[in-house]
Amino acid sequence: MRKSKTAGKRRNPADYKNLKCQNSDLDTSKYAKYAPLDGPCKEVVNVPGDVDRVLCSFCTSRSASGK
């Protein structure tokens, strides 16, 4: 029988943390041009513990569409 591809990769819910989108601070954000037009982004993203920065799905979508 073939081994599962997810073997050893599963994480405990305690291994995750909540981070604000990078565009919540427009002065330090690398992607400030994709922030919402009405001000800084207010999204919070749940990510694995080894992640330092995150761009939320809404800002990522704006960057992909070029708006």
How far, in Å, are 15, 17, 54, 64 from residue 23 at the CA level? 24, 18, 9, 15
Q: Select from 19, 11, 15 the least CA-distant residue to 55.
A: 19
Name the residue ranges covered by the structural domains of the chain: 13-65
Per-residue pLDDT of the chain (67 residues; tens, 9 = 90+): 666 666 666 778 788 999 999 999 999 999 999 999 999 999 999 999 999 999 999 999 988 887 6
- Cβ atoms of 44 and 20 closer than 8 Å: yes
- What is the model's pTM? 0.73
Contacts of 15 (CB under 8 A, 6+ apart): 48, 49
Q: How far apart are CA 44 and CA 61, in angstroms?
A: 15
**Model pLDDT, residue 7:** 60
